[in-house]
Structure 1
Amino acid sequence: MSGSLNITSATADPALLDLPWQLPLDAWPNENIASLPKGISRHLVRFAHLSGRVVAIKETTSEMAKREYDMLRTLAHLEIPCVEPVAVITNRTDASEEPLNSVLVTRHLKFSLPYRALYSHALRPDTATRLVDALAVLLVRLHMIGFFWGDVSLSNTLFRRDAGAFAAYLVDAETGQLYSGGLSNGQRENDLEIARVNIAGELMDLEAGGRVADELDPIRVSNGIVAAYRLLWKELTGSESFSASERWRITQRVQRLNDLGFDIEELAIKTDSTGSSVRIQPKVVDAGHHQRRLLRLTGLDAEENQARRLLNDLDSYRAAYGSQGADEEMVAHEWLVRVFEPVVRAIPEELRGKLERAQVFHQLLDHRWYMAQNQSRDIPLAEAVTSYVQDVLRHRRDEATVIDPLTGAITLPIRTQLEDDTTSADPDDADDWTLKV
């Protein structure tokens, strides 16, 4: 290795030294490269193997790499869904001592896909709408902490399956800015307009390539992020007035926020001078209500909709076995040992990389429900697991799909009824260290 290489990282991983930093990123040997689908980027991005995991490496300037690294760490500390920064590599030179671009290294988000990888076939309007809805939720969360993205797009987002929907993660933060005093309405509207225009362009690009359904209207779908964003923003931050005799509406408002996946940490309640009317307004809200409850009760870390689905099954278990009056933590432990863990253990080892455990359990519940509907009888869990493994899971590819090395085409998992991107039919539904070499 030539020159004085600088590695700034939050974790001391010696394997970083083993990567060929003396070569331009586009000249890295195949043994270092991981073939995974990637989105469109203004910079060269490649995936590489590191310590048994996969990382994304982006060539950029030293200033931009350091800035984005710091921003991603800040967003992660604020519990915003985003990729995990691993390191910044600067002072790269080749064998002739010619300077090479600096790079930002981030950890690949397991079980995630760029939006283009989700649609090797025709993109249907309802699937596109759910993607845009997921991005709207992410944008609201970012704006609530005072983050101006500046380049909102599907390309700068990764999506993970979350029960019957998607969860969105921020990938590219190089244009972002965090404002301690929050964002003005103009800044929020600017980000929203950027999102609308970018999404329309991305969908039109797919349309030109024949990769969307005929009935999909890119303009209508892109306008959907504006409607979804404003509805969610109003629900989270808007004030509400009602008469003092309708105090039940306070509980109703809290429940609506919980159903959206948000917890209220503070609620301002004011009455007028006569005491005849009440005005409420959420002051601080946080996402992940069901995630935190599931994690607290079972130790399982899942996406929000997955957590809601697992909690529904936990509550059904509690009701079915007459445990309503029992301690919640004890029932949760019993459900974990008797229901969830046996299902996970029943998945053959060679199939466990197909989907996350929570997503497997969600799909199993769907499969069991379909079986019960078709056969007009209750289906034992063991029977449903066997059928799901043999008829569904075994016939799909790993969620971490690969790119065809000859054509560059993205190969997608085999679709089945349960994997189809349609609404579920279930009615219940450390300080950094710097190394110089």
Structure 2
Amino acid sequence: MAEPNRLQITAASPDPALLTLPWHLPLEEWPDSVLAALPRGISRHVVRFVRLSGRVIAVKEIGETVAHREYELLRQLSRIDVPSVEPVGVITGRRSLDGEPLTPALVTEHLAFSLPYRALFSQYLRPDTATRLIDALAVLLVRLHLHGFYWGDVSLSNTLFRRDAGAFAAYLVDAETGDLHDRLSDGQRAYDLEIARVNVIGEMMDLEAGEILDSPIDTITVGEMLVVRYEELWQELTTSEWFEPGELWRVEARINRLNDLGFDVGELDMSTDIDGTRIRIQPKVVDAGHHHRRLMRLTGLDVQENQARRLLNDLDSYRVEFDRQGEDEEFAAHDWLTNVFEPAIRAVPRELRGKLEPAEIFHELLEHRWFKSQEANRDLPMNEVVRTYVDEVLRHRPDEQAVLGLDTMTLQAISDEDDELIG
């Protein structure tokens, strides 16, 4: 007689709908009726995407000990606001109808509007895609290291990317090899960075061998680029500087550089040398999200860092245009949101709003308005350019709310179809 199924769900806020999923079947055999129509990327484990309670979750079959460990690590990363997928729970005690034990599963939230790196190396993007992805990965790795997180398997494959006003924001997906410490040693950071360099070079070589790259790329240079960008950013965030008493303006310049990189400065550790002729400054970096937090405070919009920077620039232009620099910033921000941002997004046909996040659509609208204004040799209002942006740009983009990991053949088929439409 088969042993009864004793399914166990470990979750901070368990969703009862999880019990309705076919846990008695191996993940590879789950029926299409429960799966989300999202193409899968490369993974060392079996992964499926499932629609549940009006959202999409990712289910990954993995050993019980590793599943619980990764679940706890992802919860810790979420608490310290590091860009990573949100953990939902761990499913154990799975058995087939015949009583055979099945592999436990880790459940995470699907990161909406995110793309794996293989899907980004297509004809949709500019030739500098590799540079922008490497920059995003470097920022993510620095943020993790600042929090004392050793990744252990840094790679493009273990990262998801969201568009961020022409750049990308990177999110950690796979934390099973990671470990959280109070502080990382220089050796731990260096080893993590070396793993990243080797993995990125290997992944770029794989794309090259698969003829996915549109143009020749020096794969070794891409890997070295990650090291350079990481070290530049780490130095800017952590290095102490000496100033003469008459050079205190350099303190503000240092803070502005950190803000431009998207990092807030919580406090400054300042000290003078013995004779008081020089001042040493060590910034206490809070975390990335300077512009994000400012925009959230002013408008309630929760967007990526570069998107926030771009929207704030438009808000500042709005204040100048209507001579509102002298009034309370919150009032001007409310009017900008009501009279500029929201009408522009509502003007986009509902069926096309899943193409990109609203903030990314607005960013592209600003870009489109600039080009059209150049052509017309006059400043065009937003309502004049929304229609041409929708018809000339947005309609021909893939639906990024649904794309999660297109294989090469699917990418090429969509690219060919779009080329015919545009041509």
Q: Same fold per TM (> 0.5)?
A: yes
Cα distance, 1:125 vs structure 2 = 5.3
**Is 1:130 aligned to residue 132 of structure 2?**
yes
Secondary structure in 2 matching 1:285? strand
| TM-score, length basis structure 1 | 0.91
For the 8 Å contact 1:125–1:215, the answer to whether it is kept is no
Distance 1:384 1:305 in 2: 22
Q: How does 1:362-373 map to 2 (within 5 A)?
A: 362-373=363-374
Aligned partner letter, 1:73: R
Secondary structure in 2 matching 1:88? strand
| TM-score, length basis structure 2 | 0.94
Cα distance, 1:121 vs structure 2 = 4.4
For the 8 Å contact 1:243–1:277, the answer to whether it is kept is yes
**Is 1:333 aligned to residue 337 of structure 2?**
no
Cα distance, 1:142 vs structure 2 = 0.3
Q: How does 1:6-405 map to 2 (within 5 A)?
A: 6-121=8-123, 126-180=128-182, 182-399=183-400, 400-401=402-403
More helix by share: 2
For the 8 Å contact 2:119–2:405, the answer to whether it is kept is no
Q: 1:318 to 1:56 in 2, by over 3 A?
A: same
Q: 1:245 to 1:402 in 2, by over 3 A?
A: closer
Distance 2:389 2:349 in 1: 12
Distance 2:43 2:407 in 1: 19
For the 8 Å contact 2:61–2:106, the answer to whether it is kept is yes
List alignment gaps of at least 5 residues for structure 2.
none
- For structure 1, which segment, 395-404 or 23-32, has the greater mean C-alpha deviation from structure 2 after superposition? 395-404
Cα distance, 1:397 vs structure 2 = 2.5
Q: 1:408 to 1:97 in 2, by over 3 A?
A: farther
Cα distance, 1:48 vs structure 2 = 1.2
Pairs aligned (count): 415
Aligned partner letter, 1:276: T
Secondary structure in 1 matching 2:48? strand
Aligned partner letter, 2:73: M
For the 8 Å contact 1:88–1:105, the answer to whether it is kept is yes
Secondary structure in 1 matching 2:275? coil
Q: Percent identity?
A: 61
Cα distance, 1:374 vs structure 2 = 1.4
Distance 1:109 1:36 in 2: 12
Cα distance, 1:299 vs structure 2 = 0.2
Distance 1:258 1:46 in 2: 39
Aligned partner letter, 1:108: H
Q: Deviations over 1:250-270 (max 9, x none)?
A: 000000000000000121111
- For structure 1, which segment, 184-193 or 405-414, has the greater mean C-alpha deviation from structure 2 after superposition? 405-414
Secondary structure in 2 matching 1:187? helix
Distance 2:223 2:52 in 1: 37
- For structure 1, which segment, 270-279 or 247-256, has the greater mean C-alpha deviation from structure 2 after superposition? 270-279
Distance 1:308 1:185 in 2: 32
Cα distance, 1:39 vs structure 2 = 3.0
Distance 1:406 1:310 in 2: 34
Cα distance, 1:34 vs structure 2 = 1.6
Q: 1:124 to 1:322 in 2, by over 3 A?
A: closer
Q: 1:405 to 1:126 in 2, by over 3 A?
A: closer
Distance 1:338 1:351 in 2: 21
Cα distance, 1:206 vs structure 2 = 0.3
Distance 2:406 2:220 in 1: 31
Aligned partner letter, 1:141: R
Distance 1:97 1:325 in 2: 72
Q: Deviations over 1:175-195 (max 9, x none)?
A: 000012x00000000000000
